[in-house]
Structure 1
Amino acid sequence: MCKNWIAAGAVTAAFGLMATTSHAQTTTVPGEQVGLAVGAPLPEGIYAIDTFTYRSPDGPNANSADTSVNVPVLVWSTPWKIFDARIEAVVAQPTVFVFPRANGGRDFSINVGTLVGSIFAWDLGNNVGFSYLAAVHLNDLNAGRGLPIFSSNTYRQGFALSYTGDGYNLTANLTHNIYDSPGRFEGRFGGLGQFFIADALTLDLTATKKFGKFEIGAIGYGTTDLPGRIPVGAVNATSYSKAGRFALGGLIGYDFGPFTAQAWIARDVVTRATQISPITGFSNGRDAYSTEGWVRIIAPLYSPTLVAAAPAPLIRKY
């Protein structure tokens, strides 16, 4: 099947953003890129990748919410190279769904700013690849419709290193989100004025191996914010709380031929988030751990090579 690769993003729509405390977040969903050899150049062609996650924090908790994110991606691995790097164009349209646990809480969904960008992927030899992503989430298109995170575009860069020999996928992928702060947010929570958003780093780690059509292995991912760009006197400066987390889990996959399916489950092992008391509306001092389930479909849509010849270079990477 295709070399499992993706460069797309969405938003972790934390329900806490609607409370009295301003929390950190990252537009790139932590864990969204695990299971994919992001550093390896794709064979020329067009690929469709859809990743879906459902996140459930420990509870019950009247001030918390379950969230899910769906990220459909189109990738065009072009025939062109620059400085020997394959140019791969990417477009994605993530959607966030929020399910409040409070009685009377309304479920809602938000279309996150469209992501457009390019990956420059190098084949370093010996089944090792390195890629650099340059992209932007056009969050300003939705600035008046959702949470304060949408008040600024997100500029995104990523650095990925992959080994794909002997059936292995060993990948480390570091993503840096840079927000076009300050943004002036006048949406559903109106009147916030200039809203500064902390930049963020996200790390996705993959260690899997293929056995015939099956794939199995371990994954880990986490995120931390970089609050240095939030100045004293900003609207959200006094309420800002530093956040971050890291999760570990396991992944399974199967190559069905026309497409590949993957699924994985992960749970936080460390977190800076705390539970919110349903009585006081403030933190009760307990760590807020979450469990996440994921599914992904990867389907090549077009290849310039003959159908009979296509599997050879793809299988070689595994």
Structure 2
Amino acid sequence: MVKHWLAAGAAALSLGFTATASYAQTTTIPGEQVGLAVGAPLPEGVYAIDTFTFQRADQPGSADTSFNVPVLVWSTPWKVLGARFEGVVAAPTVWSFSRTGGRDISANVGTFVGGIFAWDLGNNVGVSYLAGVYLNELNAGRFGGAQILASNTYRQGFAISYTGEGWNLTANLTYNFYDVPARFDGRNGIAAFYGAQVPSDALNLDLTATKKFGNFEIGAIGYGTTNLRNRAPFAFSSASFPTGCIGVGNCGTVGPSGGGRFALGGLVGYDFGKFSVQAYVARDVVNSVNYVTPAGRVRENDRTEGWFRVVAPLYTVAAAPAPEPAPIIRKY
């Protein structure tokens, strides 16, 4: 069971469409896969994963945001070049909660469809490659009163994990890029503008260092995201977005590219046998977005995030029984 829920993180996917995500143009939520050995191949079977997070930024008046990401992964019996193939589908939901009495918002955004190739290198080391796409289900839709014409998001992931002796030491790199320009118009905090707007690509890094003690798990986590400078990002002023941006790159006092954040925290988990749970809390230690207090002081708009995850194998293939030992024949 330990391998089941550690490796199940290879399918924990989500969408970073948030009313306070004014740090970087990332579609995959930073930190969603920490605590999971995303580099290790899953045993053959079908797995359900649900990850929930609640985020609060320091800036007064900014909206709180939460995400719920149900994921289904099929670890197939097929191998490609020695790698187990795992099919993945996820359907993330996002909520935005006003802290000033405004309107709360919810939306189903961007079903993810993809596949994972996971290699067991031996000695408890595994590596994986993920490729997939967040489908643009908001195309010609509305969010918070604004018309949104957005692109699909393509995702690649590269991970390495060590899972020996109860350890989970994992590094996971995620790259997001987009197929067509996005278009936004309307009111409710979204500036009125028209024409092609190209979001910057984004790079996320998730880090895990945890240890199992019986059924319990405890350890440290870190995660972050940054814009890449290879494409023209959005460059809106904080005046245009008084409560933050909605998944459209950098805002506030940062420049037109290179914005990002990094958070550190701790994780605890417990394996109940038929399913496992994890919870973790993290706080920004570095970010590129500032805000001005009523007293006129400039502060970093740090974010505190709480996470909860459930992993449940729905079906697994029973391991082949070990062969009976051959009788020992001794001659005298």
Following superposition, the deviation at residue 274 of structure 1 comes to: 1.6
Name the counterpart of 1:165: 164
Note if contact 1:37-1:162 (Cα within 8 Å) is conserved in structure 2.
yes
Following superposition, the deviation at residue 117 of structure 1 comes to: 0.2
Note if contact 1:186-1:193 (Cα within 8 Å) is conserved in structure 2.
no
Counterpart selection for 1:95 from 93, 96, 101: 93
The SS at the match of 1:166 is: helix
- 1:221 equivalent to 2:223? Answer yes
After superposition, where does 1:167-316 map in structure 2 within 5 Å?
A: 167-185=166-184, 189=190, 191-230=193-232, 236-237=234-235, 239=237, 241-242=256-257, 243-275=259-291, 285-305=298-318
- 1:52 equivalent to 2:49? Answer no
Note if contact 1:151-1:195 (Cα within 8 Å) is conserved in structure 2.
no
Following superposition, the deviation at residue 301 of structure 1 comes to: 0.1
Name the counterpart of 1:126: 123
Note if contact 1:219-1:249 (Cα within 8 Å) is conserved in structure 2.
yes
Following superposition, the deviation at residue 105 of structure 1 comes to: 1.1
Taking the aligned partners of 2:229 and 2:148, their CA distance within structure 1 comes to 14
Note if contact 2:117-2:128 (Cα within 8 Å) is conserved in structure 1.
yes
Note if contact 1:8-1:91 (Cα within 8 Å) is conserved in structure 2.
no
Closer, same or farther: CA 143–277 of 1 in aligned 2, 3 Å: farther
Following superposition, the deviation at residue 179 of structure 1 comes to: 1.4
After superposition, where does 1:4-19 map in structure 2 within 5 Å?
A: 4=6, 5-6=8-9, 7-16=11-20
Taking the aligned partners of 1:23 and 1:216, their CA distance within structure 2 comes to 29
Q: Deviations over 1:146-187 (max 9, x none)?
A: 378861110000000000010000000000001123133457
Following superposition, the deviation at residue 12 of structure 1 comes to: 2.9
Letter in 1 for 2:64: D
Name the counterpart of 2:247: none
* Structure whose alpha-carbon radius of gyration is higher: 2
Note if contact 1:9-1:92 (Cα within 8 Å) is conserved in structure 2.
yes
Following superposition, the deviation at residue 10 of structure 1 comes to: 2.5
After superposition, where does 1:67-146 map in structure 2 within 5 Å?
A: 67-102=65-100, 104-146=101-143
Note if contact 1:113-1:142 (Cα within 8 Å) is conserved in structure 2.
no
Taking the aligned partners of 1:272 and 1:140, their CA distance within structure 2 comes to 30
Taking the aligned partners of 1:276 and 1:13, their CA distance within structure 2 comes to 24
Letter in 1 for 2:269: G
After alignment, is 150-159 or 43-52 more displaced? 150-159
Following superposition, the deviation at residue 9 of structure 1 comes to: 2.8
Taking the aligned partners of 1:197 and 1:211, their CA distance within structure 2 comes to 44
> TM-score, with normalisation over the residues of structure 1?
0.85
Name the counterpart of 1:29: 29
CA RMSD of aligned residues (A): 2.5
> TM-score, with normalisation over the residues of structure 2?
0.82
Note if contact 2:159-2:170 (Cα within 8 Å) is conserved in structure 1.
yes
Letter in 1 for 2:79: K
Letter in 1 for 2:160: L
Following superposition, the deviation at residue 284 of structure 1 comes to: 6.3
The SS at the match of 2:142 is: coil
The SS at the match of 2:263 is: strand
